[in-house]
Structure 1
Amino acid sequence: MELISSTERNRLIESVAHDAFHLELRDDYSVPLEDGPYEKWLGGVVDDDFMGPWLSMIRQLTQGGQDCSACPCRDRAARPVCPLGA
């Protein structure tokens, strides 16, 4: 699987005409930028300032009428299956 940069991801999301669907398949999504906020969250403190640019982009898109759902909805469904049964 070839990973794309966050800039390329944002470009693709911003080009959505009607709706975007996000399906996560990786086992781990750890990134160094989120280590500090995650540690704070474990201690009961919410620190989501690092998400400001992402939330701003999604807010702008949804206010423009695009649907940026992070889960399957209505007639959409996905069930990833490992072909090797592992």
Structure 2
Amino acid sequence: MVKTYKGYEIHPLVYPRRTASGVTNRNSIDGGYDASVRICRVGASAADEGRVFRIAQFRPFEGAGKARMACMEHAAQVIDGQVDGQSVSDL
């Protein structure tokens, strides 16, 4: 699922959270999901992969859908310059 926002493509990256033992389990209550988002310019070449921004989350997301929604919200905030230390200005 790729969305665009203000001339950027937003690619949500959702993956099962690793437990303390290093095992991933989609069905585990302790597992859940972590997320990052890849942002690149619309129409960028394949060589320009953009930049990946991890979503800092103390607790895992309960479901993949919630993680994807958080990706979209975080990407919009990064693109709008509202996240300290994260910028797309040089893409």
Shorter-chain TM-score tier: under 0.3
Using CA pairs below 8 Å that are at least 6 residues apart, which structure has the higher relative contact order?
1
- TM-score, length-normalised on structure 1? 0.25
Q: Which has the larger radius of gyration?
A: 1
Whichever structure has more strand as a proportion of its residues is 2
- TM-score, length-normalised on structure 2? 0.24
